[in-house]
Structure 1
Protein backbone atom coordinates (compact mmCIF):
# COMPACT_ATOMS: atom_id res chain seq x y z
CA UNK A 1 0.00 0.00 0.00
CA UNK A 2 2.14 2.82 -1.28
CA UNK A 3 1.28 6.39 -0.38
CA UNK A 4 3.01 9.68 0.31
CA UNK A 5 3.28 10.39 3.98
CA UNK A 6 4.45 13.98 4.26
CA UNK A 7 3.98 15.85 0.99
CA UNK A 8 5.38 19.38 0.91
CA UNK A 9 3.16 22.34 0.20
CA UNK A 10 3.54 24.69 -2.74
CA UNK A 11 5.11 28.06 -1.96
CA UNK A 12 2.98 29.84 -4.56
CA UNK A 13 -0.71 30.58 -4.38
CA UNK A 14 -0.95 34.21 -3.33
CA UNK A 15 -1.36 37.48 -5.19
CA UNK A 16 -2.34 41.01 -4.26
CA UNK A 17 -5.81 42.40 -4.91
CA UNK A 18 -5.99 44.30 -8.23
CA UNK A 19 -6.16 48.09 -7.80
CA UNK A 20 -8.52 48.86 -10.71
CA UNK A 21 -6.27 51.55 -12.16
CA UNK A 22 -6.70 53.20 -15.54
CA UNK A 23 -8.82 55.68 -17.47
CA UNK A 24 -12.37 55.87 -16.08
CA UNK A 25 -13.82 58.56 -18.38
CA UNK A 26 -12.74 58.81 -22.02
CA UNK A 27 -12.31 61.75 -24.40
CA UNK A 28 -15.62 63.30 -25.43
CA UNK A 29 -17.50 61.96 -22.40
CA UNK A 30 -19.47 64.39 -20.22
CA UNK A 31 -18.40 64.50 -16.55
CA UNK A 32 -19.70 66.17 -13.42
CA UNK A 33 -17.43 68.04 -11.01
CA UNK A 34 -15.76 65.48 -8.74
CA UNK A 35 -15.92 62.58 -11.21
CA UNK A 36 -12.72 60.53 -11.36
CA UNK A 37 -11.15 60.61 -14.83
CA UNK A 38 -7.94 58.56 -14.33
CA UNK A 39 -6.67 56.37 -11.47
CA UNK A 40 -2.91 55.91 -11.78
CA UNK A 41 0.39 55.28 -10.01
CA UNK A 42 2.61 58.28 -10.71
CA UNK A 43 1.73 60.93 -13.28
CA UNK A 44 1.24 58.96 -16.48
CA UNK A 45 -1.38 61.63 -17.27
CA UNK A 46 -1.00 65.21 -16.04
CA UNK A 47 -3.82 67.56 -14.97
CA UNK A 48 -4.79 70.28 -17.44
CA UNK A 49 -7.53 72.94 -17.33
CA UNK A 50 -10.32 72.24 -14.82
CA UNK A 51 -8.70 68.99 -13.63
CA UNK A 52 -7.44 68.38 -10.09
CA UNK A 53 -4.94 65.83 -8.82
CA UNK A 54 -5.23 63.79 -5.60
CA UNK A 55 -2.42 62.69 -3.31
CA UNK A 56 -2.42 59.28 -5.03
CA UNK A 57 -2.19 61.01 -8.47
CA UNK A 58 -5.87 60.41 -9.26
CA UNK A 59 -7.17 62.97 -11.77
CA UNK A 60 -10.67 64.33 -11.20
CA UNK A 61 -12.97 66.94 -12.76
CA UNK A 62 -13.18 70.36 -11.07
CA UNK A 63 -16.14 71.49 -13.20
CA UNK A 64 -18.90 69.94 -15.27
CA UNK A 65 -17.87 69.50 -18.89
CA UNK A 66 -16.38 67.29 -21.57
CA UNK A 67 -13.15 65.32 -21.15
CA UNK A 68 -10.33 66.07 -23.60
CA UNK A 69 -7.01 64.21 -23.76
CA UNK A 70 -4.09 66.29 -25.10
CA UNK A 71 -0.38 65.86 -25.80
CA UNK A 72 1.50 69.03 -24.82
CA UNK A 73 4.96 70.50 -24.99
CA UNK A 74 8.30 69.25 -26.25
CA UNK A 75 8.24 66.44 -23.66
CA UNK A 76 5.01 65.16 -25.32
CA UNK A 77 3.29 65.14 -21.94
CA UNK A 78 -0.12 63.46 -21.85
CA UNK A 79 -2.58 65.88 -20.30
CA UNK A 80 -6.27 65.67 -19.42
CA UNK A 81 -8.48 68.78 -19.53
CA UNK A 82 -12.18 69.51 -19.06
CA UNK A 83 -13.92 71.77 -21.56
CA UNK A 84 -16.61 73.48 -19.43
CA UNK A 85 -20.18 72.82 -20.47
CA UNK A 86 -21.88 75.51 -22.52
CA UNK A 87 -24.97 77.25 -21.13
CA UNK A 88 -27.23 75.65 -23.77
CA UNK A 89 -26.36 72.16 -22.55
CA UNK A 90 -27.05 73.17 -18.94
CA UNK A 91 -30.43 74.65 -19.88
CA UNK A 92 -31.33 71.49 -21.85
CA UNK A 93 -30.41 69.30 -18.86
CA UNK A 94 -32.49 71.40 -16.45
CA UNK A 95 -35.46 71.25 -18.84
CA UNK A 96 -35.09 67.49 -19.16
CA UNK A 97 -34.86 67.07 -15.36
CA UNK A 98 -38.04 69.15 -14.94
CA UNK A 99 -39.95 66.80 -17.27
CA UNK A 100 -39.08 63.74 -15.17
Structure 2
Protein backbone atom coordinates (compact mmCIF):
# COMPACT_ATOMS: atom_id res chain seq x y z
CA UNK A 1 0.00 0.00 0.00
CA UNK A 2 1.31 3.44 -0.91
CA UNK A 3 2.47 5.65 1.91
CA UNK A 4 2.08 8.82 -0.23
CA UNK A 5 -1.06 9.90 -2.05
CA UNK A 6 -0.84 9.62 -5.83
CA UNK A 7 -0.81 12.65 -8.13
CA UNK A 8 -4.35 12.07 -9.31
CA UNK A 9 -6.21 14.30 -6.87
CA UNK A 10 -5.83 16.62 -3.95
CA UNK A 11 -8.00 17.60 -1.02
CA UNK A 12 -6.69 21.16 -1.11
CA UNK A 13 -6.55 23.77 -3.85
CA UNK A 14 -9.91 25.51 -3.48
CA UNK A 15 -10.17 29.19 -2.65
CA UNK A 16 -12.66 31.74 -3.93
CA UNK A 17 -11.51 35.00 -5.47
CA UNK A 18 -11.78 38.22 -3.48
CA UNK A 19 -14.92 40.31 -3.95
CA UNK A 20 -13.11 43.65 -4.50
CA UNK A 21 -15.02 45.37 -1.70
CA UNK A 22 -14.02 48.61 0.00
CA UNK A 23 -13.72 52.35 -0.54
CA UNK A 24 -13.26 53.21 -4.23
CA UNK A 25 -13.00 57.02 -3.99
CA UNK A 26 -11.30 58.78 -1.10
CA UNK A 27 -12.09 61.95 0.79
CA UNK A 28 -11.40 65.11 -1.22
CA UNK A 29 -11.63 63.42 -4.63
CA UNK A 30 -13.85 64.98 -7.30
CA UNK A 31 -16.42 62.56 -8.75
CA UNK A 32 -19.12 62.62 -11.41
CA UNK A 33 -22.72 61.51 -10.85
CA UNK A 34 -22.97 57.72 -10.82
CA UNK A 35 -19.41 57.14 -9.63
CA UNK A 36 -19.14 54.21 -7.21
CA UNK A 37 -17.81 55.42 -3.85
CA UNK A 38 -17.93 52.27 -1.68
CA UNK A 39 -18.62 48.59 -2.36
CA UNK A 40 -19.76 46.83 0.81
CA UNK A 41 -21.76 43.97 2.28
CA UNK A 42 -24.47 45.47 4.45
CA UNK A 43 -24.49 49.14 5.45
CA UNK A 44 -21.12 49.41 7.18
CA UNK A 45 -20.79 52.95 5.78
CA UNK A 46 -23.94 55.08 5.66
CA UNK A 47 -25.13 57.18 2.71
CA UNK A 48 -25.13 60.91 3.36
CA UNK A 49 -25.89 63.98 1.26
CA UNK A 50 -26.01 63.38 -2.53
CA UNK A 51 -25.17 59.68 -2.10
CA UNK A 52 -27.41 56.82 -3.25
CA UNK A 53 -27.58 53.20 -2.10
CA UNK A 54 -27.66 50.34 -4.61
CA UNK A 55 -29.48 47.05 -4.26
CA UNK A 56 -26.29 45.39 -2.97
CA UNK A 57 -25.60 48.32 -0.56
CA UNK A 58 -23.10 49.93 -2.94
CA UNK A 59 -22.80 53.68 -2.33
CA UNK A 60 -22.65 55.94 -5.38
CA UNK A 61 -22.68 59.68 -6.13
CA UNK A 62 -26.04 61.18 -7.09
CA UNK A 63 -24.45 64.48 -8.16
CA UNK A 64 -21.01 65.54 -9.28
CA UNK A 65 -18.93 66.96 -6.47
CA UNK A 66 -16.28 66.37 -3.82
CA UNK A 67 -16.29 63.26 -1.60
CA UNK A 68 -16.15 63.69 2.18
CA UNK A 69 -16.26 61.06 4.94
CA UNK A 70 -17.38 61.90 8.49
CA UNK A 71 -18.17 60.05 11.71
CA UNK A 72 -21.71 59.66 13.05
CA UNK A 73 -21.95 58.56 16.65
CA UNK A 74 -19.27 56.27 18.02
CA UNK A 75 -18.71 53.63 15.40
CA UNK A 76 -20.41 54.67 12.15
CA UNK A 77 -18.99 56.40 9.09
CA UNK A 78 -21.02 58.41 6.59
CA UNK A 79 -20.01 59.49 3.08
CA UNK A 80 -21.26 62.76 1.54
CA UNK A 81 -20.80 64.42 -1.84
CA UNK A 82 -20.63 68.23 -1.83
CA UNK A 83 -21.94 69.52 -5.17
CA UNK A 84 -19.59 71.45 -7.46
CA UNK A 85 -20.44 74.61 -9.42
CA UNK A 86 -21.53 74.07 -13.04
CA UNK A 87 -18.45 75.86 -14.44
CA UNK A 88 -16.06 73.36 -12.83
CA UNK A 89 -18.17 70.45 -14.04
CA UNK A 90 -17.95 71.56 -17.67
CA UNK A 91 -14.17 71.79 -17.50
CA UNK A 92 -13.91 68.45 -15.71
CA UNK A 93 -16.06 66.66 -18.30
CA UNK A 94 -13.90 68.02 -21.12
CA UNK A 95 -16.69 70.09 -22.68
CA UNK A 96 -14.76 73.30 -22.24
CA UNK A 97 -11.08 73.96 -22.48
CA UNK A 98 -9.40 75.22 -19.29
CA UNK A 99 -8.91 78.59 -21.00
CA UNK A 100 -12.69 78.91 -21.48
CA UNK A 101 -13.35 78.49 -17.77
CA UNK A 102 -13.11 81.87 -16.03
CA UNK A 103 -10.44 82.02 -13.36
CA UNK A 104 -11.47 83.01 -9.86
CA UNK A 105 -10.61 86.62 -9.18
CA UNK A 106 -9.38 87.55 -5.71
CA UNK A 107 -11.40 89.98 -3.65
Interval of TM-score (by shorter of Structure 1 and Structure 2): 0.7 to 0.9
Question: Structure 1 residue 98: deviation in Å?
Answer: 8.8
1:96 aligns with 2:94: no
Count of paired positions: 96
Aligned pairs for 1:69-80 (under 5 A) are 69-72=69-72, 74-80=73-79
Determine the C-alpha separation between the residues in 1 that align with 2:3 and 2:86.
77
CA distance in 1, matches of 2:13, 2:75: 41
The alignment partner of 1:70 has SS state of strand
Report the equivalent of 2:104. Answer: none
Unaligned runs of 5+ in 2: 101-107
Instruction: Give distance in 1, aligned partners of 2:90 and 2:10.
Output: 63
What is residue 49 of structure 1 aligned with on the other side?
Answer: 49
What's the counterpart of residue 37 of structure 1? 37
Q: Which position in structure 2 is the counterpart of 1:7?
A: 5
Q: Helix, strand or coil for the counterpart of 1:52? A: strand
TM-score (norm: length of structure 1)? 0.80
Counterpart secondary structure, 1:80 = strand
Deviation at 1:76, TM superposition (A): 4.0
Q: Deviation per CA, 1:2-21, whole angstroms, max 9, x where unpaired?
A: xx597254311011121111
Provide the TM-score with structure 2 as the length reference.
0.75
Deviation string for 1:26-76 (max 9, x for gaps)? 00001110000000111111000000001111000000000000112x344
